[in-house]
Each structure stands twice: as C-alpha cells, then as structure tokens.
C-alpha cells in the first residue's frame, strides 16, 4: 500500500435527537493518522449515526465532526479525503462492478486507472462485469471497500466490513486495514467481531446509549483483562 499522509477525525460534543430520543449525547473522540481505531458498541448505541455525522450525511444538533479540521462536505475533493463503506448495497443491482466504479470515478474527476487499481486491490478484477445484484454479501462488501478506496483517501471509515466474509476474506481484510494504517492513513472501523478487532486495532472507542464510555489505546483498555471481548462486556455491564 503506497504511503499517504492521513488526517485526524475529530468528534467534539456531538449531540443529536431523533424522534424525541437522544441518539448522541456529547460524543467526543479522535481517530489519529497511522492508527486503526475500533469503534465498538451494542446495536443501537449510536455507532452508525456517528459515522454518518462524520461524513456529513446526518446533521448534528450541536457539536461538530470534522476530518482534517473541516466538515467532510467542505472538502473540494471528498473521495481523496475520506472513503467509506456504510452499506454493502450501495451499487445498483443491474450495474456491473466496473460500471459502478466508473460512474463514481467520473463524477469525482478520477481516472479509469483508479477503477482498475481499486478492482485489483479488493480482488474483483475477474468479476468486473458481474452485476451487483448477482453478488454474494461478501462480494458486495469487497465492492463497497473498492468504492471506499477508489480515491486513495487519507481516511477510511468502515461500518461492519466483516459481514458476509468467509475466514480467508476476513484474514485478507485484516491485512488491508493494517496496511492502510501502516502507510499513514486514518482507519476508523466499527465491528462486533471482538477477536478480529483485537488483532488490528491500535485504539478503542466504546459507545453505549449515545455516550462514549471508554476511549483509550488498545493496550491500556485491555489492562489485565484476558481479551478485548471480556473487557468490552465488562465495561458495558458495569454501567
């Protein structure tokens, strides 16, 4: 993976009320360049809402979420700033893998070389003409990752990227995420696979009921606990 200077993700006092429910309550944390930050929490804790706020998809009632010191939508070349995988079903089911990426590239001023590079990186070069609607969930996850990486971004944000992947693909993804961070990029990943997260994370942020309940390096967060899963569940049960 070529080296790329990353940009910090900063979330400061982010709050949001949705249908009368406070889904984010003064959420604050930082994801640093050159590191994999694991964003953990139970279903409904506020993880996806936070990621969407960072990407400017969801509006915050107060606080801020910025990449490189400015809101994502204010960057003139957003795909070169941050790439994201939030859903494996982003591509039109009738559109081919290559077609989906070419449209994305053309609309963002990227060359077809970027498309070929992304297909090669995620192992979809031989399936470039397959319609998205005929893909397995694991293939769709790879296409989503190609979409995230097509602009060679400084920041990569992934929401449950392991879903639908078999053992070999999970191991492959582990190497991709680690190499992205080692090359200087900022990697923020949400996942429920604690054993896998423990293998790749440098830092851990835990959210529950819309509030950050822990944010530290993996080493300090683990302490004397036997595993990340034990420490994580212990943190949740102690509230």
DSSP 172-206: HHHHHHHHHHHTT-EEEEE-S-HHHHHHH-SEEEE
Fold of the domain spanning 9-94+154-237 = Rossmann fold (3.40.50)
Say what the pLDDT of residue 223 is.
Answer: 87
pLDDT at site 238:
82
Is 228 or 3 the better-scoring residue by pLDDT? 228
Give residue 90's pLDDT: 80
Give yes or no for a contact between 50 and 121, defined as CB atoms under 8 angstroms apart: no
Cβ burial, residue 237 (10 Å; 0-12/13-18/19+):
exposed
**Res. 56: pLDDT tops 80:** yes
Q: Read off the pLDDT of residues 150-201 as tens digits, 9 standing for 90 and up.
A: 999 999 999 999 988 899 999 999 999 999 999 999 999 999 999 999 999 9
**Segment 72-102, tens digit of pLDDT:** 999 988 889 999 999 888 888 899 999 999 9
Alpha-carbon distance 69 to 33, whole Å?
Answer: 13
Ranges of each domain in the chain: 9-94+154-237
> Which residues 6+ apart lie within 8 Å of 17 measured at CB?
23, 61
In the predicted structure, residue 113 carries a pLDDT above the cut 70: yes
């Amino acid at each position: 993976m070529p080296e790329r200077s990353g940009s910090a993700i900063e979330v400061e006092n982010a709050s949001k009320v949705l249908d009368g429910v406070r889904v984010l309550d003064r959420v604050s944390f930082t994801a640093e360049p050159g590191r994999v930050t694991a964003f953990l929490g139970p279903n409904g804790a506020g993880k996806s809402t936070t990621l969407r706020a960072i990407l400017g998809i969801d509006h915050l009632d107060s606080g801020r979420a910025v990449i490189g010191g400015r809101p994502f939508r204010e960057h003139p070349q957003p795909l070169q700033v941050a790439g994201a995988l939030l859903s494996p079903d982003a591509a039109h089911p009738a559109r081919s893998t290559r077609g989906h990426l070419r449209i994305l590239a053309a609309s963002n001023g990227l060359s077809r070389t970027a498309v070929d590079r992304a297909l090669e990186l995620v192992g979809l070069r031989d399936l470039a003409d397959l319609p998205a609607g005929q893909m397995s969930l694991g293939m769709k996850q790879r296409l989503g990752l190609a979409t995230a990486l097509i602009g060679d971004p400084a920041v990569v944000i992934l929401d449950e990227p392991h879903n639908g992947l078999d053992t070999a693909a999970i191991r492959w993804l582990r190497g991709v995420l680690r190499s992205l961070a080692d090359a200087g990029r900022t990697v923020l990943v949400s996942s429920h696979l604690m054993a896998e997260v423990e293998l790749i994370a440098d830092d851990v942020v835990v959210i529950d009921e819309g509030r950050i309940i822990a944010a530290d390096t993996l080493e300090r967060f683990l302490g004397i606990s036997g595993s990340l899963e034990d420490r994580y569940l212990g943190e949740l049960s102690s509230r």
